[in-house]
Amino acid sequence: MSEIDMAVSKPEIMQPYIWLQTPDGAIQQVEQVIAMFCPFICQEVIQKGTGSSKNCAICLPQRVTPTILSLILDYCRFHQVPGRSNKERKSYDEKFMRMDTKQLCELTSAADSLQLKPLVDLTSRTLARVIEGKSPEEIRGIFNLPDDLTEEEKLEPLKNTTADPRIRLLNRLYAKKRKELKERERLKNVEVEEEHVDDRSVDDLLSFINGNDADPKEMKNSKNKKKNRRRKEQQMSSSLKEASELNNKEINGHNIRPQTDGANGVSEASQSNTEDSTFVPREFDDGDIDEEIDPALQEKLDREVEDFARILNSDWPERMQELLSLGQERKAMPFTSNGNSFLRRNA
Amino acid sequence: MEPEDDKSETSTTISTLPDSILCNILSFLPTRTSIATSVLSRRWRHLWKHLHVLNLDGYSFNTPELSRDHVEDRFVDFVNEVLQQVQVRRIQKFRLEGEVRNYSCTLSFWIDAVTSGPHLQELYLSLWNSSGSFYTLPYSVFSCTSLVSLILKGDIIVSFDNLQSLQLPSLKNLDLEIISTELDKLLSLCPALETLKVFIFFNSGGIDPNEIHVPRSLKRLTLESEACDSTVDHLEIHTPSLEYLDIALVACYSQISVRTYPNLVEACLNICFDDMHIDWMPKLLNAVCRTKFLALQASTTACLICVPSLEFPQFFCLVRLQIGFEFFNSRVLIDLLHCCCKLEALLIHACESVSYGCLYGEPVEPSSWTQPVSVPSCVVSHLNIIEFRDYEDLEEEHEFIAYVIERGLVLKTVTIHTRTFTDQEIKDHILKKLSVVPMGSSICQLKLD
């Protein structure tokens, strides 16, 4: 459309001035190029055709007072000029932001109502800087926020009251894995390593991977046998164990005190203790985490920990090998699907 | 004015801001701080859970009493908690910096989770591992169709087995400062890329393609290599929309392909060629001849000097020229000025240190001043600002300045910066010498510091 056509069909676009009315009733005219920098004004002009004269001035939103409007127009006046370098704009913005917090808030509010996103971001950033590094009391003072939370509420911003066991599981595993790796490095030349070679069948692994939600108890029997074998092997390599409260129980070998009552619980709990020599527990006490989980869940977790660990054990050496050389091929993660479900909680 | 009134007005103001703006404010804070705001008041208690931006800083968890591994565990726990309580699929920006010692699998889970959301626009990872291990970026990043900006720094590897079903259709900004990537393959996934910034580490196996084909949509290219033995053989920059070019590397190219960039606004060249490829320099200059701002670093100028009978292209649009010399050479400068008919600002940096060692067998000949046959037209008609850094009052430097002052009819300011620690006596002497030069422009101001 040529300029002349535009002038005929939409005369207001050709005019250099736009009329604006602030909430107090006052009307003023502003150069078009400057005012049109605000999307809100742009919309009003194009969609509703207002602003072309004093009689049909654009009504600005409630929060745009005359003082604030003049600030906003200053901003627009500077930034609508295309030839400015980034440096210039940045330095202007810095100077522009020198105002008290109260005015900052008003400006943010007004810019938001005019849909002037760059200015909203600028003021938000500045307000963020005001908040950063200050204590809650100071912030409440600056913004005059009511101190209306109970002491209890204040103490638990991030407490995960649902105690997601899987996440904790993952954390524990990685801690254990890390310890194991350290051990391995230390004992690189020791033949003992080979006794830890995993001799589980592929079927077991597959059934674990595929039957993620399958009842672990079904697989318990075959695993028990393997665990017994492992336990014997591990007792021979006592030098590997790091001292910990769980391991202390295990030194006697077969005389392990059950963590819980119940026949199944006994063997399961004892198995998990022996596994510790393969993946040594953390240095610091994670007993406090376990306290929150009831014993039945604890067994289940321990079982899952072992299973999980076995998966990791099987291909970890190869993984490490790959990781240490460049140009590695990316292997599919055996537990990727599990991983997503870990995080796809009810958040 | 009563203080109480003031206060209550403030409280209405920030508290009247809608949640979306308060969240916007929080999005500029480190996530840890955002969560801390939940103790401020009832209104702020759950605000952080609506955040769409995560700024996770592993370094901030460092405390001297705890071991690094323990610190890392706390950080991992923290992020896991956060990801459970925010809406992961609504996350727009995910920024994480820290050291990844033991938790790279968890990190991949997190990345998989955020990239699966349809709103992820920016992914920023800065991982510097003291242990020397590195992190491989999961594939989920490369099928993230909403991603607009990808910034990777540190010990990260980007590599592909095959590119099927991988695409980054929305990616506009790519910033890589990582130890290894298959750059060309990565670029082939980004048809809409507008800004590309690549920094090649001094590392064999760094970003080491033999060919780099830059997407045609590219507007801004910054290519920097620390390596003095870069092995890029074929660099193709066929981007008609290129507006900004910043290259800093050693060129041992056997085959470079550039075109004239008609939209070029700014070019910064810091290129060092070895003997055999010096003849590529005219080609490069030709390609940037339409630029408005040109910056030539000392290494590039050194190359220029060594090219036998170099003919500069006409820089039709050049308005500002910044040129650095290891040793000031007026001949080259005058030749260049002859080709910049519209030049308005000239910044000279003598004694600039060279980024790349001189690769030439021939020693640099000391140059001396020879009176030009004709005055460059820009000096007479357009040049109004001259700035000279690290002025040593060498005869050649003095003669050049004097020449320009005399003939510059529209000069406004001539600013001379002497080298640091120059005696005041010497400065006064310089000023005196220059003040007696007859000024071609009546409004010219001479400044010295």
Whether chain B has a CB inside 8 Å of the CB on A333: the answer is yes
Residue A267 is predicted with a pLDDT of 38
Give the pLDDT of residue B84: 86
In this structure, what token pair is assigned to residue A300?
Answer: 């289940």
Closest listed residue to residue A52, CA positions, set A41, A64, A65: A41
Q: How far apart are CA A49 and CA B258, in angstroms?
A: 49
Q: Give the pLDDT score at B304.
A: 80
Domain boundaries, chain A: 17-143, 149-190
B130 touches A: beta carbon within 8 Å: no
Which residues does residue B386 pair with via DSSP β-bridges, in sequence order?
Answer: B346, B414
Q: Which of A90-99, A287-296, B36-45, B415-424 has the lowest mean pLDDT?
A: A287-296
Nearest residue, CB atoms, A128 vs list B29, B81, B136: B29
Question: How far apart are alpha carbons B187 and B196 in whole angstroms?
Answer: 9
* Domains of chain B listed by start with CATH number: 18-51 (no CATH), 54-353+371-377 (3.80.10)
Select from B15, B101, B113 the Cβ nearest to the Cβ of A343: B113
The whole-angstrom distance between B240's CA and the closest CA on chain A is: 21
Give the tokens for residue A10: 């939409």
Higher pLDDT pick, A341 / B162: B162
| Complex ipTM | 0.74
Secondary structure of residue A124 in the 3-state scheme: helix
Inter-chain contact A149–B21, Cβ cutoff 8 Å?
Answer: no
β-strands B345-349, B293-296: how paired? Answer: unpaired
**Residue B170 in contact with partner chain A when CB distance is under 8 A:** no
Show contacts of A53-60: CB within 8 Å, 24+ apart: A53/A19, A54/A19, A54/A27, A54/A29, A56/A19, A57/A19, A57/A20, A57/A21, A57/A27, A58/A18, A58/A19, A58/A20, A58/A21, A59/A21, A60/A20, A60/A21, A60/A22, A60/A23, A60/A113, A60/A114
Binary contact (B6, A102; C-beta < 8 A): yes
Interval B72-90 mean pLDDT: 88
Long-range CB contact pairs, B263-266, < 8 A, 24+: B263/B290, B264/B288, B264/B290, B264/B291, B264/B292, B265/B291, B265/B292, B265/B293, B266/B291, B266/B292, B266/B293, B266/B294, B266/B295
Q: What is the pLDDT along chain A (347 residues), one digit of tens a residue?
A: 454 444 444 554 556 888 888 888 888 888 988 988 999 988 888 888 888 888 888 888 888 889 999 999 999 999 988 877 778 889 999 999 999 888 999 999 999 999 999 999 999 999 999 898 888 888 888 888 888 877 777 766 565 433 445 555 655 666 566 666 667 767 775 554 444 445 455 555 555 555 544 444 433 444 444 444 444 444 433 333 333 333 344 334 443 333 333 344 333 333 333 333 333 233 333 333 434 445 655 566 566 656 655 554 444 444 444 344 333 333 333 333 333 333 333 33
Alpha helices in B86-160 (DSSP H): 104-116
Q: Answer whether A339 sits within 8 Å of B39, measured CB to CB.
A: no
Mean pLDDT over each residue of chain B, to the nearest integer = 83
- CB-CB under 8 Å, B80 with A167: yes
Out of A279-288, B44-53, B91-100, B281-290, pick the least confident. A279-288
CA angle B222, B224, B228 (to 5 degrees): 160
Best of B28, B37, B61, B129 to disrupt the A interface (most A CBs within 10 Å) is: B28
Alpha-carbon gap: B389 to the closest alpha carbon of chain A (Å): 21
Mean predicted confidence (pLDDT) in B392-420: 89
d(CA A131, CA A140): 10
CA end-to-end distance (rounded Å), chain B: 50
Q: Which residues contact B5 (CB under 8 A, 6 or more apart)?
A: none
Into which CATH architecture does domain A17-143 fall?
2-Layer Sandwich (3.30)
Nearest CA in chain B to A324: B133
Q: Look at the block and give the residue holding tokens 């409260």.
A: A245
Q: In the prediction, which pLDDT does A322 show?
A: 39
Q: What pLDDT, on the 0 to 100 scale, is given for residue A269?
A: 36
Q: What residues of A are in contact with residue B108 (Cβ under 8 Å)?
A: 333, 339
Which residues does chain A have within 8 Å of residue B87's beta carbon, measured at their own beta carbons?
Answer: 347
Cβ contacts of residue A159 below 8 Å, gap of 6+? Answer: none
- Who contacts A252 (Cβ-Cβ below 8 Å, separation ≥6)? none
CB atoms within 10 A of CB B332: 20
B152 pLDDT higher than 80 = yes
Enumerate the residues of chain A whose CB falls inside 8 A of the CB of residue B26: 128
**pLDDT of B33 above 50:** yes
Q: Which residues of B92-107 are buried (b: 16+ CB within 10 A; e: fewer)?
A: bbbbbbbbbbbbbbbb
Q: What pLDDT is attached to residue A147? A: 82
Q: What is the DSSP string of B147-209?
A: --EEEEEEEEEE--S--TT---TT--EEEEEEEEE-HHHHHHT-TT--EEEEEE-SSTTSS--
Those of residues 313-372 in B touching chain A at CB distance below 8 A are: none
Residues in Cβ contact with A194 at an 8 Å cutoff, skipping those fewer than 6 apart: none
B28 inside 8 A of chain A by CB: yes
What is the longest distance spanned by two Cα atoms in chain A? 99
